[in-house]
Homo-oligomer: A and B are copies of this chain.
Amino acid sequence: MLIHTGIIEGAGFTGGELIRLLLNHPDVELEFITSQANVGRRIDEVHRGLYDETDLCFVAEGELETLDVLFLCTENAQSEAWLRAHAPLPEKLKVVDLSRAFRVKESIADDADDALASLRREFVYGLPELNRRAICDARFIANPGNFATGILLGLLPLARNLMLNGDIIVNSIIGSTGSSERSATLTSFSWRSDNISVYKPFHHQHLSEIKESLRQCQTSFNSNIVFIPYYGNFTRGIFTTIVLKNKVALGQLEHIYEDYYEEDSFTYLSRKPIDLKQVINTNRCLIHLEKEGDDLLITTCIDNLLKGASGQAVHNMNLLFNLEETTGLSLKSTAF
């Protein structure tokens, strides 16, 4: 029995990666992909590397009645608008929203009306390493942000052990496909090649979902997170370092991380130093710890399009439908 899936606004980076995953997923039938800007164009004309894998073309609207799960690759405001415009959705239809729109419960206070607040309450934050049980029983999934995923996986075991009690300094370098920014300069090869820069220091929009998730583990969490995101000169990946004070011995911390991720299929503590290309084109997160005195350095690596977006969305779908969670996600890494 196949899972019937559809994608709303699948012409961008995350939409393309999701299509590449779903076309190879053994239990999935991809029914339609919408893109208002590309109606009628073949999918493999827009998305690289799909030559002859599908004859589908982008459509303006898809049939929702016969669908099992819908992925929203819409921008944030559009997700909300789309869900309002299509309410009520068919009862059996599940939704994985890859935008930021419904990730944070705190926003309920700001919601325009009760319907929206009520919808927001139904959403589960789709980080399996945090909310696996709840995801399995959910109908609406808010897929985590790419930075948030890399940072939370580095901090959750500490939060679970109530160890986040001081300033947290986070530096994260992201590849060009992680950027929804459409500035011609910032995304141009001439500018970005061989370059590094900081953008939005202190104020990145992922901070709220990070803090809310940490408080879920450690109610008392109230620390300052100094978050410095960078544009890197590569296409895929997020490399994160986190520095904080911690008095526990390194060996003990390593056990805490290994315990936390023991049941997880994609997230690992590596006892050896890690580098970004180890995870590229995989759904894995690798984590490494080093200590000097009370200073703890946590390094994490993910592929922003996979574990940071579409791979995690498929992981969530697998959980929603009680599949083995690695189904369709045992990807050959690029390695080089």
Which residues of A come within 8 Å of B, CB atoms? 13, 16-17, 20-21, 24, 45, 47-52, 169, 171, 173, 176-177, 184, 187-199, 201-203, 224, 226, 228, 230, 232-237, 239, 241, 243, 268, 270, 272-282, 284, 286, 290, 292-293, 295, 297, 299, 305, 330-336
- Could you list some 12 contacts between A and B, CB below 8 A? A16-B335, A51-B278, A169-B169, A184-B184, A184-B187, A187-B189, A194-B277, A196-B232, A197-B239, A198-B273, A199-B273, A332-B332
A191 to B192, CA, bound (A): 12
| A190-B13 contact, Cβ under 8 Å, with A195-B275, A232-B196, A268-B52 | yes
Complex A-B, nearest 9 residue pairs according to Cβ-Cβ distance, in ascending order: A49-B333, A197-B275, A202-B292, A189-B192, A194-B234, A48-B335, A196-B239, A49-B335, A235-B336
A270 to B45, CA, bound (A): 11
| A295-B224 contact, Cβ under 8 Å, with A195-B234, A196-B237, A239-B196 | yes
* Cβ contacts under 8 Å, A47 to chain B: 335
The listed residue (B13, B21, B228, B275) touching A336 by CB distance below 8 A is B13
Min Cβ gap A195→B in Å is 5
A51 to B261, CA, bound (A): 14
Min Cβ gap A171→B in Å is 5
Min Cβ gap A316→B in Å is 18
Closest residue of chain B to A336, judged by CB?
B235
* Cβ contacts under 8 Å, A305 to chain B: 336
* Cβ contacts under 8 Å, A230 to chain B: 239
* Cβ contacts under 8 Å, A195 to chain B: 234, 275-277
**When the two chains form their complex, are residues A276 and B171 in contact, meaning their CB atoms are under 8 A apart?**
no
The listed residue (B24, B187, B274, B290) touching A332 by CB distance below 8 A is B24
The listed residue (B20, B237, B270, B335) touching A335 by CB distance below 8 A is B20
| A235-B190 contact, Cβ under 8 Å, with A268-B52, A273-B197, A335-B48 | yes
* Cβ contacts under 8 Å, A330 to chain B: 24
Closest residue of chain B to A276, judged by CB?
B196
**When the two chains form their complex, are residues A281 and B336 in contact, meaning their CB atoms are under 8 A apart?**
no
* Cβ contacts under 8 Å, A173 to chain B: 173, 196
A47 to B336, CA, bound (A): 10
Min Cβ gap A144→B in Å is 20
* Cβ contacts under 8 Å, A16 to chain B: 335
A281 to B277, CA, bound (A): 14
Min Cβ gap A267→B in Å is 10
The listed residue (B192, B236, B276, B297) touching A201 by CB distance below 8 A is B297
**When the two chains form their complex, are residues A198 and B48 in contact, meaning their CB atoms are under 8 A apart?**
no
The listed residue (B197, B272, B281) touching A334 by CB distance below 8 A is B281
* Cβ contacts under 8 Å, A334 to chain B: 49, 236, 280-281, 334
Of listed A228, A237, A272, residue having the most chain B CB within 10 A: A228
**When the two chains form their complex, are residues B196 and A234 in contact, meaning their CB atoms are under 8 A apart?**
yes
Min Cβ gap A31→B in Å is 20
A270 to B50, CA, bound (A): 12
**When the two chains form their complex, are residues B275 and A196 in contact, meaning their CB atoms are under 8 A apart?**
yes
Closest residue of chain B to A202, judged by CB?
B292
